[in-house]
Structure 1
Amino acid sequence: MDYGFGAQQLQEQSQILSPRMLQSLSVLQMPSTELYEYLVKEIEENPVITFDSIDYAEKCRRSSRFRPEYGDSDDISERVTDDNASPIVSLRIQLAMLKLPEHIQRIGYALIYLLDENGYLCYDDVEKLVQAAHLSLDDLKIALDGLQSLEPAGVGAFTPRECILLQLERRNLKDSDAWKVAQSHLELLGKNQLPQIAKKTGIPLHRVVNAQQVIRSLNPKPLMLEGRLAGNEYISPDIRVLKKDGQFIVELNQIAADSLIIDDTYIKIYNETDNETVRSFLDNNMKKAQWLKDSIRQRCETLMACASQLLASQRGFFEYGPESLRPYNRKELAEKIGRSESTVSRALKDKYVECSWGMFPTDYFFPKSSVESHPLITKIGIESSIQAIIHNEDRRSPMSDEAIVDALRRTGINVSRRTVAKYRDEMGIPPSFRRRIYS
């Protein structure tokens, strides 16, 4: 038996699998916005991969094709320039993936370049665009609706109120308490005048408080630099948990593996040519393309498994809010889905979950238990209880930390006065003498 050949075969297999496995692990770990950038780079470097919408978006970016159509409108043409900022690239790619009619898509690209640093459009700029490019209002409306459907939610709004309402609508919260408060009483909300809002709307005060929490979880400046990760990477949700027809569902914010196509033209050339250099080049790139498709598919399967189990294990949070978050760890999740803890950690690293309660890093869903209080109560749960107690106190005679300890004990939560003071400080709630109001 020829053992030498077997050893050589194993070595060759190792050489093939090593970069493939590294790519798969790297793709699994990438947040959605980084994955977009990575795919654009791979498509640029590998000629056998096609993805028409990305190719088209990048072609528009490089040629600045909109500029000649604005005639003498210098203000507009100066704004429509090449911009490699990550949020702009991400918006271009997302818009291209909507597969809108070409003339609508071109209007959408122009609107993206008119966004200010916070993600807002200016009425004057859009009016100049309409006049200079002779756009119909119907076409503009379709393009604007497309832009406002992209991530981050709220982008393409004209006012802070519209930005907030767009985000609430994205969370299926239209006509909710938060919607009613945002629609008519944002100024009062900014002044923390919740009783006045309750009186004007007829909404009970405790529901106004909940509405305030929902609105505070939104981002009134979707493209602001503060809304980015280190290295100017834009934060975008990788996982969405939505409620439709009374049932929670999980959606992933990523390109499907089937969206990446190995161009048949190059397969035909490979099969017909006798040139070994060409065959070797194409063979190498087709393998890389297939590895990329497999990596995307594996990422999707793993992330969906993690997200679905996260929903099942933290259902109380998604149903009732942060106070219902239970102690949880990655090892427990990994055992449930039959994957290693290291795989789960990679899959959830730097990822964000968007739901009706806001956008949260995945780390948020793995709180440790508050052993001092109860093994099934988290720090977040205790903080929520402290907030509720303080919210309901008599502001003319606010509760001391010791009184809060007693109130918590009556609900079955046993913590020290020092713990209450620490958590209260961390939440930015002042001590009792500073909470007192004088009528």
Structure 2
Amino acid sequence: MALGPRLDLRVGQTLILSPQLQAAIRLLALSNLELAAEIASELERNPILEAVADGEPIPPEAGPAGVATDPATPEPPLAAAPDLIAGPDRPDDGLDIDPAAEFIHHDGPADFATAPDADDGNLIERIGAPEESLLAVLSRQAESALAGRDLAIALAIIGTIDEAGYVTEPLEALAERLGIALGEVERVLRIVQGFEPTGVGARTLGECIALQAAERDRLDPCMAALLQHLDLVASGDLVQLRRVCDVDAEDLADMLRELRTYDPKPGLRIGGGLATPIVPDLFVRRTAKGFTVELNAETLPRLIVNRNYQAEIEAHARCHGSRAERQFLQQCVSQAQWLIRALDQRASTILKVATEIVAQQAAFFEHGISHLRPLTLRAVADATGVHESTVSRVTSNKFLSSERGTFELKFFFSSAVHTSGEDVAIAAVKARLKALIEAEDPLKPLSDDRLVDLLRREGYDLARRTVTKYREAMAIPSSFARRRRAIVRSA
């Protein structure tokens, strides 16, 4: 049988996502802030699409039928916001929206009596300008104190300083890279170590604290010996510390208290940029009938189609325009209508999923984290009638604000831990484990075996390795390390 290339025609059926469906899926995974940026970009591309601030009246030109609305004609009824709890008569795809609806509006906190005070002002106006970075601050000090060759060396040293204020490159490598003597680099480094904040330019933790102690005129031989043996401080070997520092127990206690007043990372006091505030996508309100969920409308502008401007463009295109202009106008109209329907579908799906999550975790909102129930994506998908991947997209990068704080929607999904009664979420077990450790005697900390026994008495059947894994996940040291820290503090 001869082997060789050939061409075959085959007929088959496959599922292909249309570009509009792909865009709708992408919109579903965006947070409110990301969606606002996407809408702003679309407003720049589409000339007939306009945004109306929440609370502003709808302009008369935003009427149906593609022409300006007569002011004497009453406006069409507004598109209703999706129900908080979707019923069986509302399909999951959310495309049962009246195509004539001109805009989308979701009730937000501003529509309720419990809305935030309007005098709070714009969040952007309350946030100050970003601080200078540590690199910029040190470079400015170097330019004012040095010049010529020394300035070039200082800037090279500053370029190796990390955000905590430490030199990250060995001086030997830096001297070789610059082609100068090691002593010259060390001389300029001592100048850089005199810059603010005190302690920057150090190569080790001991040197960083020594610079700060020297500024306070507290770097005596005893303190210098202590800084050279910080490993003994970490291990809590107070007997050896008294020996190497040649001090008694009272003096050592004073030195340890003073040691705690120094900043081990002085560079973090400068720069770092602005912390981005979390803007919740959803609000949970307590009502007489339970908890209700609402979208944050402040980050979602209402969209309308400017029918008046559309009519003017159509009239111009019919008289003077080309076929390409008419096609462009039709494309803009179709894109605007699709975006409005897609946003309404997104809002309906998010509210449906979030409402089911709140209903499943009502005990958490009522009593706290100890009542957090185990929950999976499949359970929410089955209850809401959507696909599991849709629930995953809805809960991605979405935050929910409630009386108990602001949480990512992913927080409410957790595996189950078997107990003598009902299964509980891993987050609830971690919270109980942390509470037991915080209530322990610092000088007699609870070992992992002891924690296992205490948790089993409360009905949590956990293995020792599981308790260790949960403790390490919460960045809690071992019982030996906790006791060592307690000894140093008590000294």
Band of TM-score, shorter chain: 0.5 to 0.7
Residue in structure 2 matching 1:249, options 287, 292, 302: 292
Please name the residue that 2:304 is paired with. 261
The 3-state SS of whatever aligns with 1:285 is helix
Aligned equivalents of 2:274 and 2:373: distance in 1?
29
| Whole-angstrom distance in 2 between the partners of 1:29 and 1:364 | 16
Q: Which amino acid aligns with 2:296?
A: N
Once the two structures are superposed, the pairs formed by residues 104-143 of structure 1 within 5 Å of their partners are 112=125, 115-117=128-130
Change (3 A) 1:350 1:429: same
2:293–2:354 contact (8 Å) kept in structure 1? yes
Q: CA deviation at 1:372?
A: 9.1
TM-score (norm 2): 0.48
Is the 1:257–1:294 Cα contact (8 Å) retained in structure 2? no
Deviation sequence 1:395-430 (CA, Å, 0-9, x none): 443322222111111111111222222222222223
Displacement of 1:316: 1.8
Alpha-carbon distance between aligned partners in 2 of 1:299 and 1:326, rounded to the nearest angstrom: 27
**Does the 8 Å CA contact 2:280/2:296 hold for their aligned counterparts?**
yes
Contact 2:283 2:296 in 1 (8 A): yes
Residue number in structure 2 paired with 1:23: 23
**In 2, distance between residues paired with 1:114 and 1:53?**
22
Say whether the 8 Å CA contact 2:52–2:301 is kept in structure 1: no
CA pair 395-380 structure 1, distance change in 2 beyond 3 A: same
- CA pair 328-351 structure 1, distance change in 2 beyond 3 A: same
Query: How does 1:158-237 map onto structure 2 within 5 Å?
Result: 227=275, 235-237=278-280
Report matched runs for 1:23-422 at 5 Å.
23-53=23-53, 112=125, 115-117=128-130, 227=275, 235-244=278-287, 247-254=290-297, 259-269=302-312, 272-273=315-316, 274=318, 275=321, 276-370=323-417, 376-422=423-469
Equivalent residue, structure 2, for 1:74: none
Equivalent AA in structure 2 for residue 116 of structure 1: A
CA separation in 1, counterparts of 2:20 and 2:298?
Answer: 19
Question: 1: distance between equivalents of 2:390 and 2:422?
Answer: 27
Deviation digits for residues 215-258 of structure 1 (CA, Å, limit 9, x no counterpart): xxxxxxxx975855xxxxx7432222233568422121246988
Aligned equivalents of 1:409, 1:342: Cα separation in 2: 36
The whole-number CA distance in structure 1 between the counterparts of 2:299 and 2:473 is 41
Task: Return the TM-score normalized by structure 1.
Answer: 0.53
Matched, 1:427 2:474: yes
Secondary structure (helix, strand or coil) at the match of 1:51 reads strand
Aligned CA distance change for structure 1 residues 372 and 389 (closer, same or farther; 3 Å): same
How far does residue 337 in structure 1 lie from its aligned partner after superposition?
Answer: 1.0
2:419–2:460 CA contact under 8 A, matched in 1: no
* Number of residue pairs aligned between Structure 1 and Structure 2: 269
Query: Distance in 2 between the 1:111 and 1:52 partners?
Result: 20
Write the distance in 2 (CA, Å) between the matches of 1:114 and 1:399: 44
- Amino acid across the alignment from 2:311: K
TM-superposition CA deviations, 1:363-414 (whole Å, max 9, x none): 2211112369988222212212212222333344332222211111111111
Aligned to 2:87: none
Aligned residue type for 2:305: I
Shift of 1:353: 2.1
In structure 2, what is the Cα distance between the partners aligned to 1:246 and 1:388?
Answer: 32
State the one-letter code of the partner of 1:242.
R
Q: Secondary structure at the match of 1:240?
A: strand
Cα deviation for residue 294 of structure 1 reads 0.5
Per the alignment, residue 122 of structure 1 pairs with none
- Residue 111 of structure 1: how far off its partner (Å): 6.9
Matched-pair contact (CA < 8 Å) for 1:238–1:253:
yes
**1:303 shift after superposition:** 0.2
CA apart distance, 1:295: 0.8
Secondary structure of the 1:241 match is strand
Specify the code of the residue in structure 2 equivalent to 1:236.
V
Query: Residue deviations 1:21-79, cap 9 Å, x none?
Result: 2222221121111101001100011100111449x9xxxxxxxxxxxxxxxxxxxxxxx
> Compared with structure 1, are the counterparts of its residues 34 and 362 closer, same or farther at alpha carbon in structure 2 (3 Å cutoff)?
same
Contact 1:327 1:377 in 2 (8 A): yes
What secondary structure, in the 3-state scheme, does the structure 2 residue paired with 1:339 have?
coil
Match of 2:147 in 1: none
Q: Residue 260 of structure 1 aligns to a residue in which SS?
A: strand
332 and 226 in structure 1: CA distance in 2 versus 1, 3 angstrom threshold: farther
Instruction: Let me know the Cα RMSD of the aligned residues.
Output: 3.8
- CA distance in 2 between partners of 1:376 and 1:393 (Å): 26
- Between the aligned partners of 1:358 and 1:267, the Cα distance in structure 2 is 45
1:98-156 Cα offsets, whole Å, 9 max, x none, are 8xxxxxx9x967972862338xxxxxxxxxxxxxxxxxxxxxxxxxxxxxxxxxxxxxx
1:279 Cα deviation (Å)?
Answer: 2.7
Q: Is the 8 A contact 1:334 1:340 kept in 2?
A: yes
C-alpha spacing 1:415/1:337, structure 2 compared with 1 (3 Å): same
Q: Structure 1: where are the runs of 5+ without partners?
A: 1-13, 57-96, 99-104, 119-222, 229-233
Q: Which has the higher contact order (CA 8 A, sep 6+)?
A: 2
Q: CA 1:350–1:117 in structure 2 vs 1: closer, same or farther (change >3 Å)?
A: same
Residues 23 and 292 of structure 1 are in contact (CA less than 8 Å); yes or no, is this contact kept in structure 2?
A: no
Counterparts of 1:396 and 1:257, CA distance in 2: 54
Deviation digits for residues 252-285 of structure 1 (CA, Å, limit 9, x no counterpart): 1246988101002233225545244433222110
Alpha-carbon distance in 2 for matches of 1:337, 1:256: 25
CA contact (8 A) 1:327 1:368 kept: yes
Is contact 2:32-2:299 (8 Å) kept? no
- The more displaced of 319-328 and 371-380 is 371-380
Query: Which structure dedicates a bigger proportion of its chain to helix?
Result: 1
What is the alpha-carbon distance in structure 2 between the residues aligned to residue 430 and residue 39 of structure 1?
A: 47
Identical counterparts, % of pairs: 32
